[in-house]
Each structure stands twice: as C-alpha cells, then as structure tokens.
Amino acid sequence: MSPLPNSHTEPDGSAVVRVLSYNIRSMRDDTTALARVITACAPDLVLVQEAPRFFRWRKKLARLAAASGQVILTGGATAAGPAILCNLRATVERSEDVLLPLTPGLHRRGFATAVVRFGDARLGVLSCHLSLQKDERYEQGGMLLDRLAGMGVGHAIAGGDLNERPGDRTFRRLADGLQDCFATVPWGGEYTSTPSAPHQRIDAIFATKGIEVLGCGVPLALPGVTDTDLRAATDHLPVLAALRIPAH
C-alpha cells in the first residue's frame, strides 16, 4: 500500500489534512486499542460516531481524545452520538451540534458540525450517523447536504456511518452532490463492517468538489495499525482520508 500523504501546508496556502471517520460503539470495547488506532492514523480531524452519550460521557470522550493526541471540538451526547475531535493544528472558528427531527419509536439522530482553518485553508466539517430506517435515512441525507451548503464556506467534508452501502439511494444521493472519497482515489481497504469479517462499506468520507482527494480507505496496512487492535477497538473499521484543501 502506498503511503498516504502527511499533513502539511503548501506554499500556495492550501493544506493537506488527514481525516478519520470512526464508529467507536460508545467506547464499550478496548479503549486502549482504539486510542492506538487513532494515534497511528495521525489525523487532524476525527469524525466520531457513537460517542458516549450517558453517565460521564464528556470525561470518557476527553480521555480518548487525550490518549490519541486530540482535543474535543464538539458533539457527543449534545449531537445524539456524533462528535468531532481535532489536533492543535486546527483553528476552530465555530461549532454547532444539530439534533434532527425525531421519528417516534426510532433513535434520536444528530450532526456534529464545525468550521475550522488550517493556515489559509478554511473547511466545514460534519460528522453523522444516519438512521437504520431507510426513509428517515434518505431525508437525513438531504438534511446533511443542506447543512453543508448552509455553512458559508467554500469547501466542506462529511463523514460517518451511513447504515447503507454504495448504490443504495441515500448513499447515491450524497455521492451525486459530493465526492465519495474512497471511490475517487481508493487507498487501503474498502469494507468497514465488520472488523472480524469485512464485507460491506457502510462508512464513508465525502468532500465538496473543490477539494482534492489524495487517498481514502480503511488503513489496514498503515504502520502502527494492527489487525488485533482493529478487531478489539470497536465493531467498525475506520476510514482515513488525505485531502488537499484550497486556500480560501
């Protein structure tokens, strides 16, 4: 597997940013293995799904962030599960946690969102975990696109657990409006579920059209990422992308 570019700033003011999207199953598994995987991926941004939402949830998420070289940017229980972590390279302009309309009998969903800068590159960021119910999921896909369009930035990314595969209608809806980063420049592994027997891609990172995708996929052979840790950390595999964000 060819190396994924490291984070850096280009002479023209653009920035290469590493983004990780990861469903961490409320940190119910091996959190030491989880922290090792995140650290080895060296991300600037971590788009988390299923962050802890109940007793002492902030303390649990803060402990994971500290153990993996990150800080909490936004989200967690206040976004019904999605969260965003970042490293100190990121300058945070603003953040907002968005609760989506609740369908009776279904789990509450939300978006964790932020606008950050890496030098002269300005970026909208959204972490999501879409519904298990297909019609609600499709509506949430539209809300995601509307939210990115309304962030007032030229470039934006979204990542998360979509609960459906490429070719299904919500995944297609997102891929029609955005770049599906793995499909654009495949790198690493494809399937994100399950760690013990990967057979489906239900987690993804998307980017607006002006962003250059340098590579995206499951970091299966990345130095420091072991199969043992991936299996122990949670019930999903992470998605790692390197993206070049133009200067604003």
Gap between the Cα atoms of 117 and 55, Å rounded: 32
Question: What is the Cα–Cα distance from 45 to 16, expressed in whole angstroms?
Answer: 12
Residues in a beta bridge with 122: 117
Residue 2 has a pLDDT of 84
Residue segments in the chain with a per-residue pLDDT below the cut of 70:
none
Summarised one tens digit per residue, pLDDT across range 174-225 is: 999 999 999 999 999 999 999 999 999 999 999 999 999 999 999 998 999 9
List the one residue out of 91, 98, 144, 139 whose CA is nearest residue 119: 91
The pLDDT value recorded for residue 77 is: 97
* pLDDT score, position 32: 98
Nearest Cα to Cα of residue 64 among 51, 77, 75:
51
Asked whether 65 and 85 are in contact (CB, 8 A), the reply is yes
What three-state secondary structure class fits 213?
Answer: strand
Measure the CA–CA gap between 30 and 38, rounded to whole angstroms. Answer: 13
Looking at domain 22-245, does it have CATH number 3.60.10.10? yes
Report pLDDT for 1.
Answer: 72
Residues sharing a CB contact under 8 Å with residue 204, sequence separation 6 or more, in sequence order: 21, 159, 160, 162, 166, 171, 174, 180, 181, 182, 239
Domain boundaries, the chain: 22-245
Q: Provide the mean pLDDT of the chain.
A: 97
Give the pLDDT of residue 248.
Answer: 79
CA distances from 162 to 46, 68, 74, 90, 102 (A): 16, 25, 20, 26, 17
